[in-house]
Structure formats: C-alpha cells, structure tokens
Amino acid sequence: MQYPLYKILAATLALSLGIVQGAQAGEVSAAVAANFTAPMQEIVAEFEKDTGHKAVPSFGSTGQLYTQIKNGAPFGVFLAADDATPAKLEQEGGTVAGSRFTYAIGTLVLWSAKEGLVDNKGEVLKKGDFAHISVADPVKAPYGTAAVEALKKLGVFDALSAKIVTGNNIAQAHQFVSTGNAELGFVALSQVFKAGKLTGGSAWIVPENLYEPILQDAVLLTNAKDNEAAVALLKYLREPKAAAIIKSYGYQLK
C-alpha cells in the first residue's frame, strides 16, 4: 500500500516535532513546605500543561526538607515556609546566586473543625475550654514558631502548654484538628481557605502583630543550575497564573 508523499512528509514532521519537544521537556523534583501543598498541586498541573516540563513535589516541614537537602536529596528547587532557611542554604553555598525570592506571605489562623468553637477574637484561648490544641513543631516548622510567638504575646502560653500537641509539620497539625484529636489548632490559612471563604469549621485569623511575618522564599539549588525544568518552575511561580492560584488560598504577594 502506497501513501501520498504529503502524508509521509506530514508524519515525518510531526515525529520530528515530537522528538524536539520531548528533548526540550525536563523534570524537576521540588522540596515544598507542607502549608503550600494545595496551591502547589494546582500550580504543578498548570505548569506541566503550559510548559511540557514535569515537576515532582515532595512536601514536609521546612526543617525536615532542609535536612534532606543537606544530606544529598536530589531536589532542584526549594519552596520553604520562611526566608531564613533558604538564606542559610545560600550562605552555605547550596543555592544558585540571585535565585532566591519571596513567592508567598503566609497567614496564621486558629482553626477548629467544629462550627462556633473558635470566636472571631480568639477569646477561646483565654477561656481554655478544650483538652488539646495543635501546633506544628516550632523547631522545624515556621508556622509552629509563629504559633508559639502568638501564644506568648497573648500571655496564654504557660497556661496552655500542657494542652499542646505537636505535629511534625503544619500538615500534621491540621490533621490533628480535622480528625478531632485536638479540638482546635494553629494552621496555615491556606489549609482552610479557598476562593475567598473558609472551607469549614470556625476560625480566627491571628493578627499580624502577634508574630513575625511569614515570608516564604523559593530558591534554585546548586545541583539544578543547568536544569531547564527547575529554572522554568521558579519563573512560573512569579507569573500571573500561579500568582492567582497563590492568592486564592489566602496568601499575600510581596
């Protein structure tokens, strides 16, 4: 069976384009702070669709991810829950100079899966009518550090310390509350907020003057300086489509 010459040429061209596109597409592993799980999943889907590159995110506390990076984990980019940890990596020579930037500014919220438990002024903390309050590990997780700061500034840390249950990261702190193991807890607004409204339960957005700003920085790691997918992902985080996703989860942009 013979095929017309134009069909053969068209097939050859399509194959060639596919090979070129495949050669250009790359893959990057990303270390991502747990509070950014939901927006990152959305961003990755759009990134892959728009660029052809593949991104594989791994989520955890900033402290845990830092340790993994120092131990040689093959991450190409690091999206932390603070600005101090990427800056530390930068000072240690583990990042590409000039690549660090703030991709989001986080918001701390006191949340309960129960309607009406958390009032809009956080008075529930002073009343103490609960058995357990969940907080992310303040040593490993910046949101946990912020929570402890807030409790101390409110003057209730000592009174509530025996009721605190500590999650390894902000995802586990949220899980303790969502499963009822703790009646309430400090989580990231992004975990309970979408498209301008609370997704369930009751919450108090902690005033910004009660904790240091949660500047979340991203950085390109040294081993990925020639990784086109890694460079493209960091660029994509600063583009309008990613910015809209980030803002939809209650983050602010710098």
Each of the 254 residues of the chain gets a pLDDT tens digit; together they read 444 544 434 444 444 444 334 446 899 999 999 999 999 999 999 999 999 999 999 999 999 999 999 999 999 999 999 999 999 999 999 999 999 999 999 999 999 999 999 999 999 999 999 999 999 999 999 999 999 999 999 999 999 999 999 999 999 999 999 999 999 999 999 999 988 899 999 999 999 999 999 999 999 999 999 999 999 999 999 999 999 999 999 999 98
Evaluate whether 170 touches 81 at the Cβ level (below 8 Å). Answer: yes
Q: What are the phi and psi torsion angles at 72 (to 5°)?
A: 95, 15
Q: Which domains does the chain have, with CATH numbers?
A: 27-105+214-248 (3.40.190.10), 107-210 (3.40.190.10)
β-partners of residue 164 are 133
The model carries a pTM of: 0.86
d(CA 34, CA 43): 15
How far, CA to CA in Å, does 92 sit from each of 50, 68, 97, 141, 222?
A: 34, 15, 11, 20, 11
